[in-house]
Amino acid sequence: MIRLALLALLAFGGAAQAGAQPQPQNGDFTEKLEIGTSTDEIAITSDFRGADLTIFGAIDGSDSNLLAQGKYNVVVTLEGPKDNATVRKNERVFGIWVKTLSMTFELVPESYSLASTRDIGTIAPPRVIANTGIGVDHLRLEPLGLIGDGGNLVEFRNAFRRVREDSGVYQRDPGGVQFISSSLFKASLRLPANVPNGVHFVHAYLFRDGMFVVAKALPLRVVKTGLEQAITRAAHDQPIIYGLFAVALAIMTGWGASVVFRKD
């Protein structure tokens, strides 16, 4: 449904959002990257089961020879809002599993999806990829507070990535970006059902022959709508009234049932 809607939007509006936020460009390159998303807002409704986001982009000033040889590669990421994340390790204590050690990483994205024309390992040398910070493996994971000698830092970082990937909030799709003409590309990203609310960022990175050329970013808002939003807002802004309402609802339901089902 959402995908259809996005395509329909595209047919009418084209890359409506294209051209926002120009970013500094490497002096050695003449290529420019333009991207657009068919929507700048994803609504979480009561039947939300995830959504597909399609991102369109164009490479301007490209070298047609290099294009023909497939030397251009594009990586598109969708980075969720950032929050601290605490990793806890379970250990067996007296026969039961107890969380013992923990480490908190500072401001990491709540979700992260990546689509690329090829596997990112084959797009550019590891050092180049690491510099751009693309990919779950290159997310900045800085521990907060005291971590002792830091001997288990690698262990906790790896665990963090693995847990987030297993739960589907961090994902990658090599092949998720396709060229639809010589210089136009389309990227499909899947937003999981448990996608966090807030402002997400679409980043697109262009590589030429293993070298990073230029990047572009666009915001994407993921918002609860209608009743869901009203409930969340009430729960946080008017918690006592919300609590009273929850109790009133329970009293009405319980009392109502006893009236409806009364035999006499």
Partner 1 sequence: MSIYLPIAELSVNILIILGMGAAVGFLSGMFGVGGGFLITPLLIFYNIPPVVAVATGANQVVASSISGAITHFRRGTIDIKLGTVLLCGGLVGATLGVWLFSILRRMGQLDLVISLLYVVLLGSVGGLMLWESIGAMRKTAKNKPTQLRRPGQHNWIHGLPLKMRFKKSKIYLSVIPVATLGFCIGILTSVMGVGGGFIMVPAMIYLLRIPTSVVVGTSLFQIVFVSAYTVIVQASTNYTVDIVLAFVLMIAGVIGAQYGVRVGQRLRGEQLRALLALLVLAVGIRLSIELIIPPKDIYSVVSGGDGSR
Kindly list the residues in this chain that would bind partner 1 in the complex (CB under 8 A).
Answer: 44-49, 83-92, 95-99, 102, 104, 106, 110, 143-145, 156, 159-160, 162-164, 166, 193-194, 196-197, 224, 227-229, 231-232, 235-236, 239-240, 242-247, 249-251, 253-258, 261
Q: Which is nearer to partner 1, 102 or 122 (CB)?
A: 102
Q: Which is nearer to partner 1, 85 or 187 (CB)?
A: 85
Q: How far is the CB of 225 from partner 1 (least distance, A)?
A: 10
- State how far the Cα of 144 lies from the Cα of 167, in Å rounded to an integer: 23
Q: Which is nearer to partner 1, 8 or 163 (CB)?
A: 163
- State how far the Cα of 208 lies from the Cα of 123, in Å rounded to an integer: 9
DSSP label at residue 44 = E
Q: Is the dihedral of CA 151, 153, 159, 162 positive or negative?
A: negative
Q: How far is the CB of 111 from partner 1 (least distance, A)?
A: 11
Q: How far is the CB of 8 from partner 1 (least distance, A)?
A: 24
Determine how β-strand 170-174 pairs with β-strand 72-79: unpaired
Q: Which is nearer to partner 1, 28 or 166 (CB)?
A: 166
**Burial readout 117-153 (b: 16 or more C-beta within 10 A, e: otherwise):** beebeebbeeeebeebebbbeebebebeeeeeeeeeb
Q: How far is the CB of 77 from partner 1 (least distance, A)?
A: 19
